[in-house]
Amino acid sequence: MKRILFLCTGNSARSQLAEALMRHMCRDSTATIDKFEIMSAGMAPESVDPRVYEVLNYYNVNSDNLTSVLASSLQNQHFDVVITLCDKASKECALFPDSDALIHWDFKDPKPQSGSQGFYDVFDGLKAKIALFLMLNGDNQSDTIGAVELFKIMSDPLRLRILMLIHDELALSVGDLTKALQVSQPKVSRHLALLRDSGVLHDQREGVWIFYHFPPDLPLWIRHIFDTVRNGQPALINQEKIRLSAIKNRKKPQSINSIIE
């Protein structure tokens, strides 16, 4: 079980909303309900702002047992992830030097604002951040490749286009890629070998054909990056897609599902 700590200055608004909301979202997901222990604390704790309860009650999020905690009282405990929610708190990460990960989500303090709208805005922003965090961390992730290695691989234009083509087509052969990319077979093969050896691609033989595809256990954070690049740069492989569609009698795997499942 991973221990998550939300850290803020007063532990009276943002971090309380984050603690309650993340617990609620974990309960809604059987994949994550037993994977996280969630707490919050403050550098200079204050009483929980009544508007926190208003927002949580409006969204039917359990607000029981919320209490302000002094961050220094927890400094001898280990937290897998410490998430700071304001700039002041981000400077106090030294309290938890053995944490596996330190993350900063900066949210404007809603307390000085009149009314409750600022609290609703923080709730909405936290919901999006927490949803992404749970999506990428909710299940056990394999150590396929690190971020530095991944971006080195993607920095090569040819390898990036190979990845985006396989993203769309699910599985492609060396011949398909050679014709779509209009580069030599040895060059394509060298890049495919690098991608395979890094764990980003798997290969599978069907008869005389070898198809390349993403492995089933490719970490979600990597898939998310590929999705973002593909949708953010939709014209990146236009010509390659046109050439691919023009290839007559193009071989396809007998069962793409058997490759990707």
**What pLDDT, in 10s, does the model give residues 178-232?**
999 999 999 999 999 999 999 999 999 887 889 999 999 898 899 999 999 999 9
DSSP state of 28: T
The whole model's pTM is what? 0.73
**47-103 confidence digits (pLDDT tens):** 999 999 999 999 999 999 899 999 999 988 999 999 999 887 777 666 788 888 889
Which amino acid is located at 258 in the chain?
Answer: S
Catalytic residue among 5, 7, 8, 259: 8
Buried b / exposed e across 163-202, counting CB within 10 Å, b at 16+? bbbbeebebbbbebbbbbbeeeeeebeebbeebeeebbbb
Q: Across-strand partners of 205?
A: 210
Active site annotation includes 8: yes
Catalytic residue among 18, 20, 74, 86: 86
Active site annotation includes 93: yes
Catalytic residue among 93, 154, 174, 210: 93
Cα–Cα distance measured from residue 224 to residue 220, given in angstroms and rounded to the nearest whole number: 6
